[in-house]
Amino acid sequence: MKKGMRICVALMLALTVALAGCGLFGESSDKGSGKTDAISLLDGQRTYKLPDVDYDTLYLCQIDVNPNDESAILTEFLDYGIQKEYHLTYAKDGKAIRQDDIFICDTGDNAKAMYDALMEMGGEGMDFGAYADDPSILVLVYDQEMVEGTILQFAGYGIGLEADADAATYAQFDADMYAGYLVDITPAE
């Protein structure tokens, strides 16, 4: 089963290259816009500062580690101390414009080892690397073109999305695909 998960992860990474618990939102330092500038992950144990993105809604998906479920995608990364994965989808006017996949490991060394393993699986050339503020966090960034390409790819295969899928539909599809769940949907005020 683990070999199957490796193949699944490798296929998802190849798709990304070809297209080239509970998280709570933190307080905003930009009181005028109502946008948050960071999210708290792992019940406040980690913080992820949001990049400068023009969005109006954020969708936060949490994917839990389940070492007893051999079909769960994150069990593939247990050797790297993975604790959780989050997918943060940024939306503007109902359209998904960016996604950050956030992988949290227990140590910076394990995050580095996981990064190296993902590069060996075909991750070269992706916008993927250690998060500067916390070396135990890896982030994979999908820009708008990659998000749109992902939607079109799955729509073309007839798998769960239409070519014109809105951000809410995409975020839910993404959560379902990874056996995760949306834990927060926060519009900018």
- According to the model, what pLDDT value does residue 34 have? 57
- According to the model, what pLDDT value does residue 118 have? 82
Do 28 and 34 contact (CB within 8 A), yes or no?
yes
Q: Over the stretch 91-135, which tens digit does the pLDDT of each residue have?
A: 999 999 999 999 999 999 999 998 888 888 876 667 777 787 889
Do 75 and 5 contact (CB within 8 A), yes or no?
yes
- Mean confidence (pLDDT) of the chain: 78
Q: Over the stretch 2-38, which tens digit does the pLDDT of each residue have?
A: 443 333 333 343 333 333 323 333 333 333 355 778 8
DSSP, res 14: H
pTM of the model: 0.78
Q: How far apart are CA 106 and CA 120, in angstroms?
A: 21
Percent of the chain with pLDDT over 90: 42
Q: Over the stretch 70-92, which tens digit does the pLDDT of each residue have?
A: 767 677 788 888 889 999 999 99
CA 128 from centre of chain: 11
Task: For residue 124, give both structure tokens.
Answer: 């070269």
Do 38 and 24 contact (CB within 8 A), yes or no?
no
Do 186 and 26 contact (CB within 8 A), yes or no?
no
Residues present in the chain in total: 189
Residue 56 has pLDDT above 50, yes or no: yes
